[in-house]
């Protein structure tokens, strides 16, 4: 009975793992999740390895997407360029550590933290 209901939902397009994986990956990336964090969250949610890889592979330029996600996280947490000028130099190492804990590599973290302040 359960199997028949699952097949009905799949046929109706209401149960689609690939769409779920794509949606989850895009949502996490917009909020500032690194590729590593997206993979870990997808694994926690039960999304298989092939689906997770395929969802992340859809990004046209992975390096640019990673930088954009790091910028989104820094903006949301007010790190680096989004800090006041007086605190920016003092908190640089902490900001780099925050991005590293979020799964971003050192090169990406430095690019974000050392970027010019954003114009409001």
Is 120 in the same domain as 65? yes
**Domain containing 72: what range?**
61-120
Question: Does position 119 have pLDDT exceeding 60, yes or no?
Answer: no
Residue 51: per-residue pLDDT: 83
Residue 101: per-residue pLDDT: 95
Question: Does position 120 have pLDDT exceeding 60, yes or no?
Answer: no
How confident is the model over 80-109, as pLDDT tens digits?
Answer: 999 998 899 999 999 999 999 999 999 999
Is 43 in the same domain as 89? no
Share of the chain above pLDDT 90, in %: 48
Spell out a b/e string for 61-95, using b for 16 or more CB atoms within 10 Å of the CB, else e.
eeeeebbbbbbbbbeeeebbbbbeeeebeebbeeb
What total of structural domains would you count in the chain?
2
Q: Is the full-model pTM beyond 0.85?
A: no
């Amino acid at each position: 009975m359960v199997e028949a209901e699952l097949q009905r939902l799949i046929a109706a397009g209401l149960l689609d793992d690939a769409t779920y994986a794509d949606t989850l990956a895009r949502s996490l990336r917009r909020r500032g999740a690194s590729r590593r964090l997206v993979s870990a969250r997808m694994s926690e949610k039960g999304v298989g390895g092939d689906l997770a890889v395929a969802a992340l592979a859809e990004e046209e330029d992975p390096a640019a997407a990673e930088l954009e996600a790091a910028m989104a996280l820094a903006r949301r947490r007010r790190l680096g360029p989004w800090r006041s000028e007086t605190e920016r130099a003092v908190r640089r190492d902490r900001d780099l550590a925050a991005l590293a804990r979020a799964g971003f590599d050192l090169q990406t973290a430095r690019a974000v933290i050392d970027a010019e302040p954003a114009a409001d």
